[in-house]
Chain A
Amino acid sequence: LAKTTQPISMDSYEGQEVNITCSHNNIATNDYITWYQQFPSQGPRFIIQGYKTKVTNEVASLFIPADRKSSTLSLPRVSLSDTAVYYCLVWVGTDKLIFGTGTRLQVFP
Chain B
Amino acid sequence: GAGVSQSPRYKVAKRGQDVALRCDPISGHVSLFWYQQALGQGPEFLTYFQNEAQLDKSGLPSDRFFAERPEGSVSTLKIQRTQQEDSAVYLCASSLVISGGLNIQYFGAGTRLSVL
Interface residues on chain B, number (Cβ under 8 Å) = 24
Interface on B for A, CB 8 Å cutoff? 4, 33, 35, 41-45, 48, 56, 58, 91, 93, 99-101, 103-110
**B110 contact set on A, CB distance < 8 A:** 42-43
Q: Are A46 and B100 in contact (CB under 8 A)?
A: no
Q: How far is the CA of A101 from the CA of B41 in the complex (A)?
A: 7
Pick from B4, B48, B91, B100: contact of A97, CB below 8 A: B48
Residues of B with C-beta under 8 A to A102: 41-42
Q: How many residues on chain A are close to B (CB under 8 Å)? A: 26
- A43-B4, A43-B93, A102-B42 known; A97 vs B33 contact (CB < 8 Å): yes
Whether A34 pairs with B105 at a CB distance below 8 angstroms is yes
Min Cβ gap B44→A in Å is: 7
Q: How far apart are the CA atoms of A51 and B101 in the complex, in Å?
A: 8
- Cβ–Cβ contact B56 & A87, under 8 A: no
